[in-house]
């Protein structure tokens, strides 16, 4: 059914006149008459009959008028909601964020809420590889992970930050005043790592394989602060990104930066590479702005 013909018909009924409807619609009377006839042809029944100088609805005309008002009102609401969505005045955005990465996202979340308070943000926490799977299956529009992502999922990646990796251990495990540690020296060293489900562990194990080294993995956990506690207890060295090193406030721990090669914790967004909502595009643009230079801006 032609929406314009329906609008012309309902306005004619509302005005009870073809000429007044034409004035209200800013078209000629012949145009209104033509559109009403077109609508009658579509429903295969007369909609209006003349009773002297008055217009009277037929039974079919009454049904079309009543339903037409609802259809046109729905179209107006649809148009308004589309405009609001484009202007980021409404909407919902679900983002997958791993527990290790969430500490970086607070400035982005705060700034986004200030700029777009009408957008509902839902944060889905999971490991990087699980978030990659959920994005690939269309369960999440965007997510964050640690590179490299699983190549078999064929996801689009947008790197937003990178930080050096550090080894943290009980004071005395490394030489005094040492500030760096060659990766080759991790061979045979007792380590405590995040669980294998984490993107960071996937990246570290890939590095071990490339260098041909075999550290002794004595324990794994899903909590980075427990790794620190195990390192503090002398169980082994924890390998953590730089942002977590700044959170350590004890002189009983020693931290050295991994070099040769310098291992990077690379944080990136992953998408399916298809359409992104206005809200998702705004979030990612803000992330690029606040993560500029590989360090999140407060």
Q: What is the pLDDT along the chain (298 residues), one digit of tens a residue?
A: 888 999 999 999 989 999 999 998 999 999 999 999 999 999 999 999 987 778 899 999 999 999 988 998 888 878 767 776 776 777 888 999 998 898 888 999 999 999 999 889 999 999 999 999 999 998 999 999 999 999 999 999 999 999 999 999 999 999 888 899 999 999 999 999 999 999 999 999 999 999 999 999 999 999 999 999 999 999 999 999 999 988 887 788 999 999 999 889 999 999 997 788 888 988 988 988 887 545 544 4
Say which DSSP state 1 is in.
-
- Strand 156-170 versus strand 237-241 pairing type: antiparallel
Which pLDDT score is estimated for 295?
Answer: 52
- Name beta bridge partners: 144: 269
CA distances from 125 to 38, 78, 89, 103, 271 (A): 55, 33, 25, 12, 16
Which pLDDT score is estimated for 298?
Answer: 44
CATH number of 92-159+267-294: 3.40.190.10
* CATH architecture observed for domain 161-264: 3-Layer(aba) Sandwich (3.40)
Looking at the chain, the domain(s) classified CATH 3.40.190.10 span 92-159+267-294
Please give the torsion angle defined by the CA atoms of residues 196, 265, 149 and 94, in that order, rounded to the nearest 10 degrees: 90
Looking at the chain, the domain(s) classified CATH 1.10.10.10 span 3-86
Looking at the chain, the domain(s) classified CATH 3.40.190.290 span 161-264
CATH number of 3-86: 1.10.10.10
The H or E element spanning position 241 is strand 237-241
Which pLDDT score is estimated for 84?
Answer: 65
**Tokens, residue 195:** 């669980």
**Tokens, residue 178:** 């040492």
CA–CA separation, 268 vs 162, rounded Å? 9
Which pLDDT score is estimated for 296?
Answer: 46
Residue 138 phi, psi (nearest 5): 80, 10
Tokens 């037409």 -> residue: 68
- Name beta bridge partners: 256: 167
Cβ-based neighbour number of residue 213 at 10 Å: 15
């Amino acid at each position: 059914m032609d929406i314009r013909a329906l609008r012309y018909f309902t306005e004619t009924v509302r005005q009870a006149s073809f000429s007044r409807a034409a004035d209200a619609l800013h078209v000629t009377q012949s145009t209104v008459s033509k559109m009403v006839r077109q609508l009658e042809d579509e429903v295969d029944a007369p909609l209006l009959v003349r009773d002297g100088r008055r217009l009277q609805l037929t039974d079919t005309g009454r049904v079309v008028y009543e339903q037409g008002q609802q259809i046109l009102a729905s179209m107006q609401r649809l148009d308004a909601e589309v405009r609001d969505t484009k202007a980021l005045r409404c909407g919902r955005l679900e983002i997958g964020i791993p527990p290790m990465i969430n500490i970086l996202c607070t400035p982005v979340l705060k700034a986004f809420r200030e700029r777009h308070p009408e957008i509902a943000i839902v944060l889905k926490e999971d490991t990087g590889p699980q978030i990659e799977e959920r994005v690939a299956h269309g369960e999440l529009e965007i997510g964050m992970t640690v590179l490299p992502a699983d190549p078999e999922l064929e996801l689009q990646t947008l790197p937003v930050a990178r930080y050096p990796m550090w080894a943290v251990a009980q004071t005395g495990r490394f030489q005094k005043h040492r500030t760096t540690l060659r990766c080759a020296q991790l061979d045979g060293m007792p380590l405590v790592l995040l669980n294998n489900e984490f993107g960071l562990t996937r990246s570290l194990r890939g590095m071990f394989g490339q260098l041909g080294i075999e550290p002794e993995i004595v324990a794994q956990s899903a909590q980075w602060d427990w790794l620190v506690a195990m390192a503090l207890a002398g169980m082994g060295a924890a390998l953590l990104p730089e942002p977590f090193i700044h959170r350590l406030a004890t002189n009983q721990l020693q931290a050295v930066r991994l070099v040769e090669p310098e291992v990077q914790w690379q944080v990136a967004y992953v998408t399916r590479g298809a359409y992104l909502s206005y809200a998702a595009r705004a979030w990612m643009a803000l992330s690029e702005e606040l993560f500029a230079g590989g360090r999140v801006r407060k």
